Amino acid sequence: MRTMKLGNSTLEVPVVAVGCMRIDSLNKTEAENFVQTALEEGANFFDHADIYGGGKCEEIFSDAIHMSDDIREKIILQSKCGIRKGTFDFSKEHILDSVDNILKRLKTDYLDILLLHRPDALVEPEEVAEAFDILENSGKVRHFGVSNQNPMQIQLLKKSVKQPLVANQLQLSITNANMISNGINVNMEKDSSINRDGSILDYCRLNDITIQPWSPFQYGFFEGVFLGNDKFPELNQKIDEVAKKYEVSNTTIAIAWLLRHPAQMQPVIGTMNIDRLKDCIKASDVRLTREEWYSIYRAAGNVLP
């Protein structure tokens, strides 16, 4: 699979990340087959979070991949922390404790990337900075980032945090594309011109922060997938038309649409289906034309000014 640099780091990563939020839906044999297929296809970047399955997903993954020193050298592990039941917590104590538990479940000595999961309204950047310093100096975490944060929240962290923030995981799909639409419809009196995220797309590009789109096939907030959905007939017709041209599936085109954006995003795919996993990976080799990209964008109901 094609690779890219993650943010302004020297870490070379696949352009598609494998999300492990649903790996607890697989039995032992299925989980082993899934992670092995991912490795064979060059998809060696695995995204986790301590809340996925209450930590169970990380345990299932480490067992499925048969974690060892040899295996660890061949994969890139990212996990997230900061969400607790009924609260968000970016305190120093919670971050450090979370990472220790993540490492234990993943059966590894270090994470390649740690992301702060969802903004904590009570964040104290100085505490985050202390936690990051301890994690970096101990070798437990090599790179850091955030998830679902806007530019000012990142700037607030950077006031104290000295480590580069290399990634920002954000919801983005063809049907959930406001971060793109508000930049197209600047100064227009329409809903799509409303800037809901502080121009996070441009901010990340300006600051070499890799955007990792999550739920790349979802519409709304986990309301369902748009592919093959009767609610989006025009969009599916257009995607199928483009897929036929490239002799790939509609799944491939949906990911290729994100990869075509010059921000050099790294979509996080959540499928546990091996065939769909392979289809997502094929998007690495498909480069849509400008006309195809915009035709898909318009078919989703987006109107150009």
**Of residues 171, 288, 178, 301, the one with CA closest to residue 235:** 301
Residue 119: which residues within 8 A CB-CB, separation 6 or more? 88, 148, 149, 153
Residues 128-167: pLDDT tens digits? 999 999 999 999 999 999 999 999 999 999 999 999 999 9
Q: Which domains does the chain have, with CATH numbers?
A: 3-230+255-284 (3.20.20.100)
User: In whole angstroms, what is the distance from residue 255 CA to residue 259 CA?
Assistant: 6
Per-residue pLDDT, averaged over 272-276, amounts to 98
- The reported pLDDT for the residue numbered 39 is 98
Q: What is the pTM of this model?
A: 0.97
- The reported pLDDT for the residue numbered 28 is 97
- The reported pLDDT for the residue numbered 223 is 84
Q: Which residues are catalytic?
A: 52
Cα-based distances in Å from 54 to 48, 85, 179: 11, 10, 30
- The reported pLDDT for the residue numbered 17 is 98
Q: Tokens in use for 30?
A: 């299925």
User: In whole angstroms, what is the distance from residue 298 CA to residue 255 CA?
Assistant: 16
Residues 53-81: pLDDT tens digits? 999 999 999 999 999 999 999 999 999 99
Q: Are 80 and 48 in contact (CB under 8 A)?
A: yes
